[in-house]
Structure 1
Amino acid sequence: MSGQGRFPEPPVVIVGGLHADARRAAVARLLADVPGSVVLHHDLATATAGTVVRTVRDATGILAAGEAPLVNDCACCALREDLVPELVRLAEAGGTPLAVVELWDSVEPKAMAEVVTAGGFTVAGVITAVDPALVLPYLGNGDDLAEGGLAAAATDQRTVADTFARQLEYASVLALADSLPGSPEADEEDHELLAQLHPTARRVPIGHGNPAGAPHASPELARAALAGFDVEAAAAAQHPACALLPAEADAHGVATLVWHRRRPFHPERLYAALEDLTCAAARSRGRFWLAGKGDTLLHWDAAGGALCVESAGPWLASLPDAAWELVPPVRRAAAALDWHPEHGDRCQHLVFTSPGLDRDGLERLLESCLLTDAEYAAGQAAWDRLPPAFDTLLEV
């Protein structure tokens, strides 16, 4: 079934997040705000037994339940295969004003939003539900998902921190469930950290408890969720080459440093500083330029004391003019903003966000990793002869 099918399709809102209690509170709020809405949920906790349990429910309880077999030993793959057919059945049944897809703990919303869109449905909004008091602990948690029974496949090597960061930064709406039972009270620093990590997200307080029983439930979450979501733009905002990164900020004990420079890093000095740079902030991300690898845009992604560095394709300056027509307009626009007459779009653009950030010390450390004036003046041929300290890390 597609957008031209004979049955009217309900708009789809995706609700995800590792904070399960907050996620359930957000879903309950949507059920209260939009009478008649239906929630689809795939529980991946049973994946070790070879199946994924699917439930369909509304505000009154479970309407249907079933199982989907694993696909390629991957619970997330089973979810992808099963989700769109369930949405089709829901659309064919008619009468549903809103379909809420509640993701299991470690499932990331980006992949599911793209699956829903490819299936011909409209993603009206993506919500990540958050307990503000747990943001810093989760960003600092470098444990593998598998250690907590949260892996979505036997080969899943993600950590709690990097998964939570991606869930948080992709969503257009953050549903804030403060003062959940068993959770500490969130303070100004917790809320400021959220605001700086994802400044463009709409943050909607939802409280806790039983929203369905509230006599005057505020529809603010539903309004925010149904405001519209551009899956293609959201993907571009996460791509290292044109990522929509946070701006400079400093408030309530939390700071964001935006570090932008026009000369390459010395590979050995940067490599030696990686541990200190990774641990300098709760979250850091961006793109960088390494001397000796002038054609390759490198992606920096750190959370939980762990750093992922990988190639994100070529700098546009390294491509022939004819190839530019094949590059998406948003990518060309991002390159134009960074364009330098000599180096093109090659640059350092790294962003560090954390409570208690030592901005001066961090800037000094970053500056020390750049080529010196003499090394810079030596030119590209000399840069290419520098020791390839990153080759092992990049699996070159």
Structure 2
Amino acid sequence: MGSHALRTPLVVVAGGTAPAAAIGVERVIGRIRAEEPGTAVVHHDLRDVRNGVVHRRLRFGTADERRILTLAHGCVSCTLREDVLPLMRELGRRPEVRRIVLHLDPALDPESACWAVRHVAVDGRPVTDTVDLRGVVTALDPGSWLDDATGDRGLARAGLADLPDEERTLAQLVVAQAEFADVLLLAGPAEPWELARTTAVLARLNPRAQRVLTPGREVLLDALPPGARRGRAAGPHDPLLAGEPPLEPAAGVQLVTFTARRPFHPDRLHAAVDVLLDGVVRARGRIWLATRPDTVLWLESAGGGLEIGRSGQWLAAGGWEAATPERLAEANLRWHPRWGDRVQELAILVHDGDPATIKAALRAALLDDGEVAAGDDAWRALPDPFGRHHTDPCGDIAPAPAIPRDDPTREEWN
């Protein structure tokens, strides 16, 4: 069952956080079922999750089977994994099932679902033995998406499933859903200027995705171009500008890059992070704190929330074992006689902020010449407000984990 030809194609459909987008999701599923009548559609509805249950619906042909699942261990992720993955395997083995659609609840991030399909074993074997994950289709409402992607509302306030221990914002969710897609369906009307700005953001957030207004055969994900994501998470040392996004401004939207070869002063960086939250859709990248010279830190923001967490070691500090050939080649090209591969690298997607102000604030947060000359021992004594895992706003709503899941060095700080 390991060959591509013998596995059942699996399409993940995400989005639907706004009414127009929810209609778009159903249009996508309808188009897939029309193109391939042997399609099974699996959906887990989380609207009653606070009552300890999940509603599962399985559609195949004229059959429409509904079942109520009790939360396993009180955990949504456990419940979904314990039901979705065995069900994917079972459907993948049925010869009458020619395609599977995993229709995610609007409150779910497709990256987590795809990671589970690719990496979590069922009875000692990966689900990908029987299913071929073709990728992700996300439906969004271009009339409201940009406002949602730059706000700070929690999911419950946005009318989505009130998940236990939920700390994500709506911005984090909708940005993640759009960023991970192979096809983006722009469902619903939008004013011309709003559509232009949203399109400009999406072109820079996810340049590899196809953007469509009406679902056609592309939602089957059978013929994506080379380099398509197809449900694979990016690693923390992958290129920040993968897919070659446009670097020139459009409709007031601009992708700003920041690179420096000296460490950040932790206290000054902490004071400066607000520039990554005001007028910014997304900021992501690798940072190097003076107090932690061995550790690669991954920074990621969406709308009004930001998170910084650990993601392995710099090669210069001994992180060779987990390094990919691509990372080794990149490090070899830019190796510094003192710093090795240590570097600040951020990509910042601005929609209403001032790029010059952002860059100036980040430059001011770097160690100055005198601090650099003071050396490592002095750096370690600097005040460091980040703790072992940092979210911003401090003590307020926190984003979902930002460390890419496919990185073998991934380590969450709690």
Alignment TM-score, normalising by the size of structure 2: 0.81
1:338 Cα shift? 5.0
1:262-281 paired onto structure 2 within 5 Å: 262-281=261-280
1:284 Cα shift? 1.1
Aligned equivalent of 1:38: 40
Q: Could you list the per-position Cα deviations for residues 132-182 of structure 1 after superposition, in whole angstroms to 9, with x for gaps in the alignment?
A: 233311212312223345356412211111122222222222222242xxx
Distance 2:208 2:53 in 1: 37
SS at match of 1:344: coil
Answer yes or no: is 1:204 the counterpart of 2:212: yes
Unaligned runs of 5+ in 2: 119-125, 391-412
Distance 1:72 1:307 in 2: 29
Distance 1:344 1:133 in 2: 46
Aligned equivalent of 1:312: 311
SS at match of 1:364: helix
Answer yes or no: is 1:365 the counterpart of 2:361: yes
Distance 2:132 2:24 in 1: 24
More helix as a share of residues: 1
1:224 Cα shift? 5.4
Pair 231,281 (structure 1): closer, same or farther in 2 beyond 3 Å:
closer
Aligned match of 1:341 in 313, 337, 344? Answer: 337
Q: Could you list the per-position Cα deviations for residues 266-306 of structure 1 after superposition, in whole angstroms to 9, with x for gaps in the alignment?
A: 22221222223322412211111111211111111112212
CA RMSD of aligned residues (A): 2.9
Aligned equivalent of 1:94: 95
SS at match of 1:133: coil
Aligned equivalent of 1:189: 197
Do 2:142 and 2:188's aligned partners in 1 also have CA atoms closer than 8 Å?
yes
Aligned match of 1:12 in 1, 10, 19? Answer: 10
The count of corresponding residues between Structure 1 and Structure 2 is 374
1:233 Cα shift? 8.2
Aligned equivalent of 2:183: 173
Aligned equivalent of 1:355: 351
SS at match of 1:65: strand
1:198 Cα shift? 1.1
Distance 1:103 1:228 in 2: 26
Aligned match of 2:30 in 25, 28, 42? Answer: 28
Q: Could you list the per-position Cα deviations for residues 303-354 of structure 1 after superposition, in whole angstroms to 9, with x for gaps in the alignment?
A: 22121112222222111xxx62343434434544553232122111111112
Aligned equivalent of 2:236: 240
Aligned equivalent of 2:397: none
Pair 291,258 (structure 1): closer, same or farther in 2 beyond 3 Å:
same
SS at match of 2:144: helix
Aligned match of 2:167 in 124, 144, 157? Answer: 157
One-letter code aligned to 1:269: R
Distance 1:143 1:357 in 2: 20
Answer yes or no: is 1:327 the counterpart of 2:329: no
1:190 Cα shift? 1.4
Distance 2:227 2:94 in 1: 25
Answer yes or no: is 1:54 the counterpart of 2:56: yes
Distance 2:331 2:25 in 1: 37
Q: Could you list the per-position Cα deviations for residues 212-270 of structure 1 after superposition, in whole angstroms to 9, with x for gaps in the alignment?
A: xxxxxx423325576799879822x2x33335436533122211101111111122221
Do 2:152 and 2:304's aligned partners in 1 also have CA atoms closer than 8 Å?
yes
Distance 1:164 1:107 in 2: 10
Distance 1:380 1:316 in 2: 17
SS at match of 1:345: coil
Pair 116,344 (structure 1): closer, same or farther in 2 beyond 3 Å:
same
Aligned equivalent of 1:211: none
Distance 1:126 1:315 in 2: 32
1:20 Cα shift? 2.6
State the identity %.
35
Aligned equivalent of 2:284: 285
Do 1:173 and 1:225's aligned partners in 2 also have CA atoms closer than 8 Å?
no
Answer yes or no: is 1:137 the counterpart of 2:147: yes
Aligned equivalent of 2:258: 259
1:13 Cα shift? 0.7
Distance 1:39 1:334 in 2: 42
Do 2:288 and 2:344's aligned partners in 1 also have CA atoms closer than 8 Å?
yes
Do 1:284 and 1:301's aligned partners in 2 also have CA atoms closer than 8 Å?
yes
Distance 1:310 1:166 in 2: 17
Distance 2:222 2:251 in 1: 26
Alignment TM-score, normalising by the size of structure 1: 0.84
Pair 26,338 (structure 1): closer, same or farther in 2 beyond 3 Å:
farther
Aligned equivalent of 1:66: 67
Pair 184,283 (structure 1): closer, same or farther in 2 beyond 3 Å:
same
One-letter code aligned to 1:189: R
Do 2:44 and 2:57's aligned partners in 1 also have CA atoms closer than 8 Å?
yes
Do 2:310 and 2:389's aligned partners in 1 also have CA atoms closer than 8 Å?
no
1:74 Cα shift? 2.0
Aligned match of 2:136 in 121, 126, 132? Answer: 126
Aligned equivalent of 2:406: none
Name which of structure 1's ranges 332-341 and 150-159 shifts more when overlaid on structure 2: 332-341
One-letter code aligned to 2:70: P
One-letter code aligned to 2:217: P
